[in-house]
Structure 1
């Protein structure tokens, strides 16, 4: 299961990482109702398949024991023994993992990072989620919350971030950032007659990252400038990640990656220019995710299967 702030998506996954069946329900705001919803999707799929174990990929901080959700900004759990509670409800062994970690594992086993010993995944969506594999194993840090790459400071004193800091990478490289950049550019270039300008004048909230990407594909000059900025910041951030971890491959995932033809080649160029010693070292391969929105489900199922087999 991929348990997010909007929906609980569940799937049955075989040993080859193939998704055999799926279902989805909305995410309740109440803790008990959320666990009811999770139990419900498990039972629905068990009625159609022989299920051996359950894995939950959660958008939040997971304890080092991978049994507890310490904090999830868009979910009701706070220091909650989620794995134990769900296991009691469904009568199956339950494994818990951060959603980006689960997606990273899935791309390593079955997708864009297959076989790499050191790999990083950067999920560019509303913000930035990230996962890291060192020697083929998920790296979670001392307290289970690593790596928060989206909150690396790239602009000192820059845009405010909901995390409380300023200038975080995700404030310049995300769907939210893409919209913010477009609005700034519209103010800076008021003489340009664009579709985005007309939309922003009528309703600034209509300028979303998805809308900016669509306008860029249609040739809107302001939207294309915003995509150029996104590519620059993606490359700069990936260079920071590579300077620290030296991965073989970096996978760009998340909703923004669907528009990768608009920015990824240019981001690769920025990355190659910004990385330390770029002319004297191998560069990581930068690839888009192959498993898309299913990656966290596939990764959670894979972890659950392996835990149950031990």
Structure 2
């Protein structure tokens, strides 16, 4: 059976048809709307587009936010419109298929454990660098959710007291210094202090700093732009600092770096590893986690939640067969 996984992020909605081997066969994408109704319309339209070309049996939504333990409701999403919303029920009505929800980082971690970089690891963590930061922890292949289904919210660890404001309402969160959004913010701050430091980015920022995106900063860094390289180095520093906290608390065998920013890992990951190894508690006297990039790339969340959708239908079939 084919299923649809939908990655509902702060920037885009991406739907993918996934087979039983974790292969993404077809995709559709749309910008993430700001309103609740328009967001659900965009999800329904993306699912309908791929379902028109394939016979699919269920839908999974990988959501950048707090998902209730029953995986039917979104409790809170810093970058999305939902608050205490019965999203699974609403989307199921729109698309006429069973729907299950999962935190996007949990979904990506499950996919990497089954098909990718965390395969075989007993304790594995995933850090997804996108619009913000998503975090997940797997213990013996099972998602650790905490008492109320919302753990671990790594992106909102406070690394910088009185630091940059965050959409969650606090200041200094990890994702404000280590994400695609953070990379752009760092570049804009550097441009303000050193207006001649980057011809490429200064031209784009002229009149509207919103033109400077994380993708553009990464592209400029690949081209050898010195200011973009400084912004990338800043991201590497904060990634290493945050990974040290993750290791202190979880002591994982492997940490998988995923999300859209991981596509630029050659620009920052070695420096982040060095930072992590130097600042983790007991540095030089303890085993270090392996820091790996996601093998499934930006599709990990789609694949993981499509697997859960398939398992949802299978479990319902078993229950119905026992009646």
Q: What TM-score do you get using the length of structure 1 for normalisation?
A: 0.88
Alignment equivalent of 2:70, drawn from 65, 75, 89: 65
User: Over the residues paired in the alignment, what is the CA RMSD in angstroms?
Assistant: 2.5
CA distance in 2, matches of 1:49, 1:10: 13
Is 1:99 aligned to residue 104 of structure 2? yes
Residue of structure 2 in register with 1:184 after alignment: 189
Q: Tell me the SS of whatever aligns to 1:278.
A: coil
CA gap 1:207/1:30 in 2 versus in 1, 3 angstroms: closer
Q: Does 1:170 align with 2:184?
A: no
Superposed displacement of residue 40, structure 1? 4.6
Contact 1:194 1:221 in 2 (8 A): no
What is the DSSP-based 3-state SS (H/G/I as helix, E as strand, rest coil) of the residue aligned with 1:126?
coil
1:191–1:246 CA distance, 2 compared to 1 (3 A): same
- Looking at structure 1, the residues matched to 177 and 250 of structure 2 have their Cα atoms a distance apart, in angstroms, of 22
User: For 2:57, what is the secondary structure of its paired residue?
Assistant: coil
- The separation in 1 between residues aligned to 2:128 and 2:162, in whole angstroms, is 24
Runs (4+) off by over 6 Å: none
1:223 aligned to 2:228? yes
Per the alignment, residue 265 of structure 1 pairs with: 270
- 1:57 partner SS: strand
**Paired position in structure 1 for 2:61:** 56
Taking a change above 3 Å as real, the CA distance of residues 232 and 38 of structure 1, as seen in their structure-2 partners, is closer
Aligned residues: 310
Unaligned runs of 5+ in 2: 1-5, 316-323
Summarize the Cα distance change of 1:48–1:221 in structure 2 as closer, same or farther, 3 Å threshold: closer
User: Matched residues in 2 for 1:143 and 1:124: separation?
Assistant: 24
Write the mapping of 1:94-243 to structure 2, written as runs, cut at 5 A.
Answer: 94-189=99-194, 192=197, 194-197=199-202, 199-200=204-205, 203-243=208-248
**Residues 1-48 of structure 1: CA distance to partner in whole angstroms, max 9, x if unpaired?**
223345432222121111122234555555455445544544554454
Going from structure 1 to structure 2, the CA distance change for 1:30 and 1:184 (only over 3 Å counts) comes to closer
In structure 2, distance between residues paired with 1:13 and 1:233:
34
Counterpart-to-counterpart distance in 1, 2:216 and 2:51: 39
Residues 160 and 298 of structure 1: CA distance in aligned 2, closer, same or farther (over 3 Å): same
Task: State the Cα deviation string for residues 33-68 of structure 1 (Å, max 9, x = none).
Answer: 544554454455445434333212122221111111
